[in-house]
A and B are shown apart, each in its own frame.
Chain A
Amino acid sequence: EPEVTQTPSHQVTQMGQEVILRCVPISNHLYFYWYRQILGQKVEFLVSFYNNEISEKSEIFDDQFSVERPDGSNFTLKIRSTKLEDSAMYFCASSEPSSGRQETQYFGPGTRLLVL
């Protein structure tokens, strides 16, 4: 069964460093998302991406964040200058093309980011 994959599974970085989190969505999906979950808290939406551009973004997704689909398979989240509060689990998700209804978002296993 196709699944979303994410690398790395864990990342430890120093405050102020740049990190890139990678995702490979399910192959026939066209909508991509990033969510984050601070330890013990709920899952929060960051950004959605469709047709090579951002569809929606939350208040969390400030200028320190960017997303990119560098090739036909990868979808990346970059944090330019990490802060302590960026420590969280980051989930990538993807969904099928929409026919006007909400398609199910399938999540990857997550990347646990720790900023020291």
Chain B
Amino acid sequence: AQKVTQAQTEISVVEKEDVTLDCVYETRDTTYYLFWYKQPPSGELVFLIRRNSFDEQNEISGRYSWNFQKSTSSFNFTITASQVVDSAVYFCALSEPTSGNTPLVFGKGTRLSVIA
């Protein structure tokens, strides 16, 4: 069974600090996809990144970076030099596409508060 664990329920940092949000997943499949979504206070879900299980290369997008480690089944998300606008709930999600698009299984989310 698929499972996504985001052990950090809430994190609070001061602006300009770096912060890492942890995501650990469980799957029996060798082919799977991992996602991060951001949910700002306005409530929508904003797609951030998608990675497949065959691509362990870390990715950087501006102040955002992702560290995918199959050996530890983790897909962690780091925000460098955090800003108040980064305050949101961040969800990690997993899918195992057996034949095309399949439902996402979400973690419980990590609420990040960035204080000015």
- The number of chain B residues touching the other chain, given as a range, is 20 to 34
Of A12-20, A40-48, A63-71, the one touching chain B: A40-48
B30 interface residue per 8 A CB criterion? no
What are 9 A-B pairs at a CB distance below 8 A? A31-B100, A42-B91, A42-B108, A43-B104, A45-B103, A48-B102, A50-B100, A110-B43, A110-B44
Nearest CB in chain A to that of B46: its residue: A107
Main SS class of interface, A: strand
Given A110-B43, A110-B44, A102 and B33 touching (CB < 8 A)? yes
Report the minimal beta-carbon distance from B84 to chain A, rounded to whole angstroms.
21
B99 interface residue per 8 A CB criterion? yes
Among B98-112, those with CB < 8 Å from A are 99-109
Report the Cα distance A89→B102, complex, angstroms.
Answer: 21
Nearest CB in chain B to that of A94: its residue: B101
Question: CB < 8 Å: which of A33, A89, A91, A112 contacts B103?
Answer: A33
Report the Cα distance A107→B103, complex, angstroms.
Answer: 13
B81 interface residue per 8 A CB criterion? no
Report the minimal beta-carbon distance from B109 to chain A, rounded to whole angstroms.
6
8 new A-B contacts, CB < 8 A, other than A56-B102, A103-B101, are: A41-B108, A42-B91, A55-B101, A95-B101, A98-B100, A100-B97, A102-B101, A105-B47
On whether the beta carbons of A107 and B109 are closer than 8 Å, the reply is no
A52 interface residue per 8 A CB criterion? no
Q: Which 3 interchain pairs have the tightest Cβ spacing?
A: A98-B100, A45-B103, A107-B45
B87 interface residue per 8 A CB criterion? no
Nearest CB in chain A to that of B43: its residue: A110
Report the Cα distance A100→B97, complex, angstroms.
Answer: 8
Given A101-B52, A102-B33, A104-B50, A43 and B100 touching (CB < 8 A)? no
Report the minimal beta-carbon distance from A56 to chain B, rounded to whole angstroms.
6
User: Can you list, as one digit per residue, whether each of B77-103 has a CB less than 8 Å from chain A (1) or not (0)?
Assistant: 000000000000001010101011111
Report A-chain residues with C-beta under 8 Å of the C-beta of B50.
Answer: 102, 104
A58 interface residue per 8 A CB criterion? yes
A108 interface residue per 8 A CB criterion? yes
